[in-house]
Structure 1
Amino acid sequence: MMKQRKIVITGYGTVAKEFVELLDQKKEELVEKYHTEFKVVGVIGSIGMIYEPDGLNLSVLHQLPKGSLGISQYASRKDLSIESPLLKGDILLECTPTNLETGGPALSYMKQALEAKMDIVSVSKGALVHSLPELLERATANGRQIKYSGATAAALPTLDIGEFSLAGSNILSIKGILNGTSNFILTSMSEGNITFGEALHQAQEKGIAEKNPDLDIKGLDSACKILLLANGLFHTKLTLKDMAIEGIEKITKADMQRAKINGCEWKLIAAAKKQGDRLILQVKPEILAPENPLIHVKGTNKGILFETEEMGTICCVGGASHPKGAAAAALKDMINLIR
């Protein structure tokens, strides 16, 4: 029997635009494989909302610019009015910019969506870092689900492994290289025998690092991701204040070369480890030995290592570190919602 799922997108940045294009490309395949028609009925930006109850024309929308400009141009082409934001549909795709201090505006949208009995797929970290335990409680109370694998390392299936592949196992620790930008910088320093500053400049020139790269190089992005994994998989209520966070900006060319003498490599490791009845979270640069599988994570790739009591060590490496990878993770979450 054919099902239909109506999607409202909040935030129309790069990831949301990639999602629209991806969904447009795969709509027939999704109907054939999953007997489900996914329709984007609304997009909310800072200027308001475009809404069509029978679905926006994605072929038109993804050819327009991202952000408010694209929203206004679509409204103009389709002779639509810009409406006040209203969450009405089956799934909220949350893509607004991350605000770690308040969680807004994503937090407000997510609460409204749960009250409206919508499931949530989020690629934005802010609201989840700020209030994941509360949001999960609200979702349970309303009989809804929250999926957020795209917020925990884009295309790398970190959360999926913990939730599904390791179901029933006792996870002892999680260690990961969860930030592609910092890993690219460390790889460049190691392979090119260059300084941190030179490697950062290369990353910025290639569009891998932002003009202000602090979230990546100081470890905060990695901290957000391991926090979400920990709170989701260990059912804790920890915050960023419960973590020790250290970035890569103090690693020198000499540090890198000393590690390589023994076949080792520096990596920025985000970790969650059980210690008695406590869970210890930290992010810091570490020297990995040659036998550690995460040593092979190069460039913008990421990796995750689970230590379990019953299944031993499980490692996954790779995953596209670009907006299309995050968009694909969001689509995967939607498919898993209907399975």
Structure 2
Amino acid sequence: MRTVDVAVTGYGRIGREVAGMLQARAAAYRSRHGVHARITGVCGSAGGLIDATGLAPERLADRGGFVPGLTGEAFLDALRPDVLIEAGPSDYATGGPALGYLRWALAHGLDAIAVSKGALVVDLRGLLRLAGEHGGSLRFSGAAASALPTVDLLAHSLAGATLHGFEAVLTGTTTFVLDQMATAGLGLADAVALAQARGIAEPDPRFDVDGWDTAAKLVIIANAVLDAGLRLEDLPREGIAAVTPGDIARWASEGLTPRLVGFAEHDGGGFRAGVGLRLYGGSHPFAQLRGSMKGLRAVTAEMGTLTVTGGASDPRATAAAALKDFEHLLAERGPEHLYI
């Protein structure tokens, strides 16, 4: 039975979920794929932890055992894992440490799974090029709307069709806020506060409310699937901060439901893309989203229009999306070809 050594960088809330869930699935990986998957190293911004025989759950839970300074390239050079799962904070200006981790991994022929969106927004093309040049792979379900299948649907399920474009509700926070304003009569501030109390919105919710989260995910998906060459700073963007209870009431009287969407559509020889508030009639799938649900609607020439909705918005959902990538990696590589 082959052993697959996994490193988790950016060992915060999501990184801990990834590690815990991966260890809990170890028996399933042995049964399904004939491999012994183990976490041999984790690191944060200030230190890390390495055990070549695999880290026990209790050691992963004890942050006091981390070695100061064991991070960055020093961590990866000492560890030399087979698979890197990058789950650090997103830096949308430079890519931050996450970009460095992913570049190192792919330049060394590793398989990398990205949860950090910033690195992909800044240099997805470069990362994919590195993967192709050195025999590794880059997967990023956790960065592209997590629990909602997006790249999987567009790039794999629709691979035989001509994709005209897509629109997607990519941020569960905005769905929740707009839904609470419509169904519970809350104002925007109270709806956001409720989302924060339930762990759906971040302590600083502006990134979601102002449309930046949707824009970042749109850039990743459109550039991965359409090679659209979108840049975050150039993308037309609208948020929901200006929506009032009066707007909600007026739209409801007209049978319309607001949703914040990202869209990318073929427009002549190029693409038209952006983030904006769109209004949908009651029969539209996006109008039927509730809670923090998301949705994607793809338009093709041969298969018609396809829509997928659902998906939780929490760290466990994001971790599960990253482990979906890991599961697919094990299945595609096969035990006889894994890291010889």
Q: Same fold (TM over 0.5)?
A: yes
Q: Deviations over 1:250-296 (max 9, x none)?
A: 01111111111132201101111111111111111111112321111
Distance 1:243 1:81 in 2: 38
Q: Deviations over 1:209-240 (max 9, x none)?
A: 22211110000000010111100000232211
Of 191, 207, 213, the match for 2:199: 207
Q: Deviations over 1:160-186 (max 9, x none)?
A: 111211112111111111101111100
Indicate yes or no: 2:321 matched with 1:322. no
Q: TM-score, normalised by structure 2?
A: 0.92
* 1:224–1:52 Cα change, 3 Å: same
5+ long unaligned stretches in structure 1:
65-69
Counterpart for residue 335 of structure 1: 327
Counterpart for residue 266 of structure 2: 274
Shift >4 Å, 4+ stretches: 80-83
How many aligned residue pairs are there? 327
Of 139, 150, 154, the match for 1:158: 150
Task: Give me the CA root mean square deviation.
Answer: 1.7
Distance 1:241 1:43 in 2: 32
Counterpart for residue 2 of structure 2: 3
Structure-to-structure mapping, 1:1-339, within 5 angstroms: 2-57=1-56, 59-64=57-62, 70=63, 72-73=64-65, 82=70, 84-87=74-77, 88-338=80-330, 339=332
Counterpart for residue 338 of structure 2: none
Distance 2:118 2:60 in 1: 25
Distance 1:81 1:331 in 2: 28
CA contact (8 A) 1:50 1:81 kept: no
- Mean CA deviation greater in 44-53 or 161-170: 44-53
Q: Deviations over 1:140-195 (max 9, x none)?
A: 11111100011011111111111211112111111111101111100000001221
Letter in 2 for 1:176: A
Task: Please report how far the alpha carbon of residue 82 of structure 1 lies from its aligned counterpart in structure 2 after TM superposition.
Answer: 4.8
Counterpart for residue 335 of structure 2: none
Letter in 1 for 2:144: T
CA contact (8 A) 1:61 1:74 kept: no
Distance 2:38 2:290 in 1: 37
CA contact (8 A) 2:47 2:66 kept: no
Distance 2:120 2:69 in 1: 32
Distance 2:45 2:2 in 1: 31
Q: Deviations over 1:15-71 (max 9, x none)?
A: 1111111112111011101222211111121223211112111x214544xxxxx2x
CA contact (8 A) 1:60 1:74 kept: no
Distance 1:55 1:81 in 2: 20
Task: Please report how far the alpha carbon of residue 81 of structure 1 lies from its aligned counterpart in structure 2 after TM superposition.
Answer: 9.8
CA contact (8 A) 2:167 2:264 kept: yes
CA contact (8 A) 2:169 2:261 kept: yes
SS in 2 for 1:300: coil
Letter in 1 for 2:188: F
Percent identity of paired positions between Structure 1 and Structure 2: 34
Distance 1:323 1:24 in 2: 16
Distance 1:150 1:210 in 2: 17
SS in 2 for 1:50: strand
